[in-house]
Amino acid sequence: METRTIAPPFMLRFMANVILFTLGHQVLSIDIQRGKHYVAAVYEHHAILNPNPVAIIDRQTALQLMKRNLDIYEEQVINAAKQGAQIIIFPEDGIQGFNFTRASIYPYLDFIPNLDSLTWNPCKEFYLFNDTEVLHQLSCMALKNQIFLVVNLGTKEPCMQSDPHCPPDGRYQFNTNVVLNDNGILIARYRKQNLYFEYAFNTPPEIDYTVFDTPFAGRFGIFTCFDILFYEPTVTLIKQYNITQVAYPTAWMNQLPLLSAVEFQQAFATAFKINLLAANIHHPDLGMTGSGIYTPSKSFTYYDMESINGKLIVVEIPVITSYHETNMENNAISHNSQKSSLNFYIEKQICHKDQEIDCKIEEKPSQEFYGIMMYDNFTLMPILNAEGNIEVCSNTLCCNLIYKQLEKTNELYVLGVFDDLHTVHGTYYVQACVLVKCGGLNYSTCGQEITEASGLIDFQLQGNFSTTFIFPLLLRSGVTLDFPDYLGWEKKSYVMYKMGGSSGLITAGLYGRWYERDTNNF
Ligand SMILES: *[C@@H]1O[C@H](CO)[C@@H](O)[C@H](O)[C@H]1NC(C)=O
Ligand SMILES: *[C@@H]1O[C@H](CO)[C@@H](O)[C@H](O)[C@H]1NC(C)=O
Ligand SMILES: *[C@@H]1O[C@H](CO)[C@@H](O)[C@H](O)[C@H]1NC(C)=O
Ligand SMILES: *[C@@H]1O[C@H](CO)[C@@H](O)[C@H](O)[C@H]1NC(C)=O
Ligand SMILES: *[C@@H]1O[C@H](CO)[C@@H](O)[C@H](O)[C@H]1NC(C)=O
Ligand SMILES: *[C@@H]1O[C@H](CO)[C@@H](O)[C@H](O)[C@H]1NC(C)=O
């Protein structure tokens, strides 16, 4: 029985900015226009980890270890279902943990049969296959609580030596997401494409483009963690499979100032104009926290470096149905006042070089310096005045910042540009324009990870990017999220601007991914 009450539209609108906390669970409502909506849940799980993941143990011991996590999953499924959730997402590696070797993870792996010609309910038909105990318990949870379950686990698939990709030990080991429907039927599986130094696992022989259908919200796509930064399968899934909602298990180690989990998850949902249901592992000691339910214009997140506990987020969100709105080339987004806010700047005759209006870029280019941010060598320029217009370039990308500091604080901010192949912990081409707070007042502290700031800055940030895939970052003190007032193309530049703000600025950024330049993908 559903116990949710549907408030009249004006009520929902009123509640848009209100976060209600009940018994430690977040119950949230957002502005809902006409049309369908549904209740989604994500659980940020504090996984109970095997203290010695490289030791070789037997299947029974592995199952006992995993059961401790699965029992927590079960409690959360019950909690979520009680709050009306129709789908719940759990994080990557949440059942078995991480840091295994290929051999040591083996006893943790469930077998997954080929689902193409099979409708299988692991709860009711557990006897059909061996080594499916984890799927069995998950399927029963889904069935008992009448909820769709998206879960990440390790899986194995035997292969023939005639298969040219088959590993020498005769089996594939995959980092897999499974989807169980509200009857407990295993309806989809996705095998992670972009492994993050996970030597225990294989990349699938062919890219999985996995979608699944729900009666309450239509079609979802699915991918895992590091995949979010790459073209395959992520962009293909969204653009060619017309996906507007994504279930996203992750085990993301935060990296400020540009790649904190909640920061990038929101940027992704905003850029593609999709709903993203993101569940991260909760291990603050490893820098892992940050989950959320994101619509293109609102985010409901959890980020907590203090508590060691997991967190359930349950939110009612609208179904996004129309694909034509999900078009990055044409994605002007206005959250606030219309473009007229720009008049403030135009009146002051400040603008971008590329534009025809008469411009006054500050004439002190000698202030440029270099700084390493997230292992990349950024070209930086300090913000020295109460207001101004500065530009920095690197390779073919020029970033322009028009700014006005609302009050003078004793903090150093810089405008930074990077246009090159990122090569540490993964290889991918980044074009980025960023406004960040430095760690201190010394220029050598720019690019450091900081989480607190008090500087309030009105700004317009833009760059003449060579890619249309640009993820807007806007992070404030305490790692809280904010939305730009405006995002979109103006002639050949992609523009973000924001006036005001509730707390100090940590990062404002346009993080572009120029996928064609990734040496691995193209
Ligand atoms: C796993 O390995 C990473 C990198 O080698 C290390 O930083 C981390 O502490 C390890 N985590 C655990 C839980 O052992
Ligand atoms: C499961 O494993 C047992 C013991 O190895 C074997 O006898 C049985 O045939 C297997 N069942 C299936 C369905 O493969
Ligand atoms: C996606 O949408 C386009 C345009 O509406 C349509 O032509 C295409 O067939 C759709 N693709 C899929 C996989 O549904
Ligand atoms: C950053 O790039 C500049 C310009 O190419 C170079 O002079 C500088 O040495 C680089 N810094 C580092 C740490 O590589
Ligand atoms: C960006 O602007 C700079 C300076 O005007 C120019 O040199 C560069 O070619 C431009 N890049 C692109 C991709 O148009
Ligand atoms: C800034 O940092 C550099 C490198 O750590 C150091 O050599 C320099 O003395 C510092 N400057 C000031 C003014 O503290």
For residue range 197-232, list pLDDT tens digits in order: 999 999 999 999 999 999 999 999 999 999 999 999
The residue with tokens 């020295």 is 384
For residue 61, the CA-to-ligand 4 centroid distance in Å is 51
Interacting residues of 511 by C-beta distance below 8 A, sequence separation 6+: 258, 264, 267, 430, 432, 434, 470, 471, 472, 473
Residue type, 7: A
Interacting residues of 42 by C-beta distance below 8 A, sequence separation 6+: 88, 89, 277, 278, 279, 291, 292, 293, 312, 313
- 518: confidence class by pLDDT, cuts 50, 70, 90: very high
Which ligand has the shortest distance to the CA of 100?
1
Crossing angle (nearest 10°) for helices 133-145 and 59-82: 10
pLDDT value, residue 108: 98
Query: Which of 49, 67, 51 has the alpha carbon at shortest distance from 59?
Result: 67
How many Å apart are CA 58 and CA 66, to the nearest integer?
A: 12
**What is the percent of the chain with per-residue pLDDT over 70, rounded to a whole number?**
84
Higher pLDDT, 329 or 4: 329
Residue whose CA is closest, atom 4 of ligand 2? 130
353 lines ligand 5 (CB under 6 A): yes
pLDDT value, residue 4: 38
Phi-psi region of 384 (alpha: psi -120 to 50; beta: other; left: phi over 0): alpha
pLDDT in tens, 38-47: 999 999 999 9
Assess contact for 44 and 251: CB atoms under 8 A: no
Tell me: pLDDT of 314 over 80: yes
- 347: confidence class by pLDDT, cuts 50, 70, 90: very low
Mean pLDDT for the chain overall: 88
pLDDT value, residue 9: 32
242 lines ligand 3 (CB under 6 A): yes
Tell me: pLDDT of 520 over 80: no
pLDDT value, residue 428: 97
Q: Which atom of ligand 4 is nearest to the CA of 372?
A: 13
49 lines ligand 1 (CB under 6 A): yes
**What is the percent of the chain with per-residue pLDDT over 90, rounded to a whole number?**
82
385 lines ligand 5 (CB under 6 A): no
pLDDT in tens, 351-385: 444 444 445 555 555 689 999 999 999 999 999 99
For residue 321, the CA-to-ligand 3 centroid distance in Å is 12
pLDDT value, residue 407: 84
- 409: confidence class by pLDDT, cuts 50, 70, 90: confident
pLDDT in tens, 240-297: 999 999 999 999 999 999 999 999 999 999 999 999 999 999 999 999 999 999 999 9
The residue with tokens 């990709």 is 165
Can you tell me the mean pLDDT for 299-312?
97
Q: How many CA atoms lie within 13 A of 6 on its CB side?
A: 11
How many Å apart are CA 88 and CA 86, to the nearest integer?
A: 7
How many Å apart are CA 42 and CA 242, to the nearest integer?
A: 23
- 346: confidence class by pLDDT, cuts 50, 70, 90: very low
CATH fold, domain 37-321, is Nitrilase/N-carbamoyl-D-aminoacid amidohydrolase (3.60.110)
Tell me: pLDDT of 12 over 80: no
Q: Which residues are known catalytic residues?
A: 92, 192, 225
pTM: 0.90
pLDDT in tens, 82-109: 999 999 999 999 999 999 999 999 999 9
Residue whose CA is closest, atom 7 of ligand 6? 444
Q: Is the dihedral of CA 446, 194, 240, 276 positive or negative?
A: negative
Domain ranges of the chain: 37-321, 366-517
For residue 423, the CA-to-ligand 4 centroid distance in Å is 15
Assess contact for 436 and 509: CB atoms under 8 A: yes
- Lowest mean pLDDT of 15-29, 33-47, 154-168, 243-257, name the range: 15-29
Residue type, 305: M
Can you tell me the mean pLDDT for 62-70?
98
pLDDT value, residue 459: 96
pLDDT in tens, 171-185: 999 999 999 999 999
For residue 99, the CA-to-ligand 1 centroid distance in Å is 6
Alpha-carbon distance values, 62 to 65, 158, 225, 281, 302 (Å): 5, 20, 24, 19, 30
Can you tell me the mean pLDDT for 515-520?
86
